[in-house]
């Protein structure tokens, strides 16, 4: 088991956000968290990555407890989050943004990683010396994912990668996510487009008001009447 989240409780001040939440993720899996806005999906990712500290519960990555570690040490272990909204350094070039993703890696590895990135994202290579702020929304999402891949993650956590993108670009981003997973990188995906998320995921968790109310193989959730009615528009 790569990721094991046990009985996680998180609050914002006195306001509860997650209640006794448990989930797991295995090597090579895509696991998706679905649910309405405010259900606790982003809070879950932020807590795993160390940006939030739980009030109770434990998080283990590759057998090591990480919920007491600062975020930068969790990232060094290979847990990398792509935040909602993409958040590039807009005044830096595409290349400079990518290199920031590899800040903790040996320089001897960076050139090879860049070449792999350009194979997956040829559009970024074409815009290598442009300021990131001049890119389209879809290109910015590619840049955000590519910057995360520069860190050589074992677990890639994606928060709403399709938000604000055209239908064609959404399909392209989800194709890229599948490609990343096929290279062996595990993916924890938070996505409002439950239909697409459940198509590419191996397993899924449904969150409601900070609690997991349903979990299992993604195909099972796709066929669940409650999920169909509330999240798939059926």
Evaluate whether residue 204 is within a structural domain: yes
What CATH number is associated with residue 171? Answer: 3.40.50.300
Q: Please report the pLDDT score of residue 206 as a whole number.
A: 96
* Alpha-carbon torsion (58, 100, 150, 201), positive or negative: positive
For residue 79, the 8-state DSSP code is E
In a domain, 192, yes or no: yes
Radius of gyration for the alpha carbons in the chain, expressed in angstroms and rounded? 17
- Is 218 contained in some domain? yes
Q: What is the pLDDT of residue 87?
A: 77
26 touches 178 (CB < 8 A)? no
Residue 151 CA to residue 83 CA, distance in Å, equals 15
| pLDDT averaged per 10 residues in sequence order, the chain, 234 residues | 97 93 97 94 97 96 97 95 85 93 83 88 92 91 93 95 89 92 96 93 96 95 90 74
Return the pLDDT at 190: 96
95 Ramachandran zone, left/alpha/beta (phi>0; psi -120 to 50): alpha
Distance CA(137)–CA(143), nearest Å, equals 10
pLDDT at 23: 98
Q: What does 168-233 look like in DSSP terms, one character per residue?
A: HHHHHHHHHHHHHHHTT-EEEEE-S-HHHHHHH-SEEEEEETTEEEEEEEHHHHHT-HHHHHHHS-
> Which residues are 80's β-sheet partners?
156
How many Å separate Cα 169 from the centre of its chain? 17
On whether residue 207 sits in a domain, the answer given is yes
What is the tally of structural domains in the chain?
1
Closest to 161 in 3D by CA, of 136, 195, 191, 139: 191
Per DSSP, 51 falls in state S
Is residue 101 classed exposed, middle or buried when 0-12, 13-18 and 19+ CB atoms within 10 A define those classes? buried
How far apart (Å, rounded) are the C-alpha atoms in residues 108 and 133? 29
Instruction: Answer yes or no: is 208 within a domain.
Output: yes
Residue 102 lies in a domain: no
Answer yes or no: is 136 within a domain. no
The number of beta carbons lying within 10 Å of the beta carbon of residue 20 is 13
For residue 210, being part of any structural domain is answered with: yes
CA dihedral 72, 74, 77, 81 (to 10 degrees): -90
pLDDT of residue 234: 61
Which residue range(s) make up the domain with 168? 3-87+153-231
DSSP run (H or E) holding 80: strand 79-82
């Amino acid at each position: 088991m790569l990721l094991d989240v046990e009985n996680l409780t998180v609050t914002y001040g006195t306001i509860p956000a997650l209640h006794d939440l448990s989930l797991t993720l295995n090597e090579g899996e895509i696991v998706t968290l679905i649910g309405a806005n405010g259900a606790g999906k982003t809070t879950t990712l932020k807590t795993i990555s160390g940006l939030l500290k739980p009030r109770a519960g434990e998080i283990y990555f590759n057998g090591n407890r990480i919920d007491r570690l600062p975020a930068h040490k969790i990232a060094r272990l290979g847990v990398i989050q792509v935040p909602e909204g993409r958040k590039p350094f807009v005044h830096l070039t595409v290349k400079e943004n990518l290199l920031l993703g590899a800040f903790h890696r040996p320089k001897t590895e960076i050139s090879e990683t860049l070449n792999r990135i350009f194979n997956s994202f040829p559009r970024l290579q074409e815009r290598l010396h442009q300021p990131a702020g001049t890119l389209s929304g879809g290109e910015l999402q590619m840049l955000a994912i590519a910057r995360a891949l520069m860190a050589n993650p074992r677990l890639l956590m994606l928060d709403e990668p399709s938000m604000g993108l055209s239908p064609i670009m959404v399909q392209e981003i989800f194709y890229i996510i599948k490609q990343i997973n096929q290279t062996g990188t595990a993916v924890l995906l938070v996505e409002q487009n439950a239909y697409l998320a459940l198509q590419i995921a191996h397993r899924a968790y449904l969150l409601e008001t900070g609690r997991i109310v349903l979990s299992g193989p993604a195909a099972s959730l796709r066929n669940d009447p409650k999920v169909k009615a509330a999240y798939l528009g059926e």
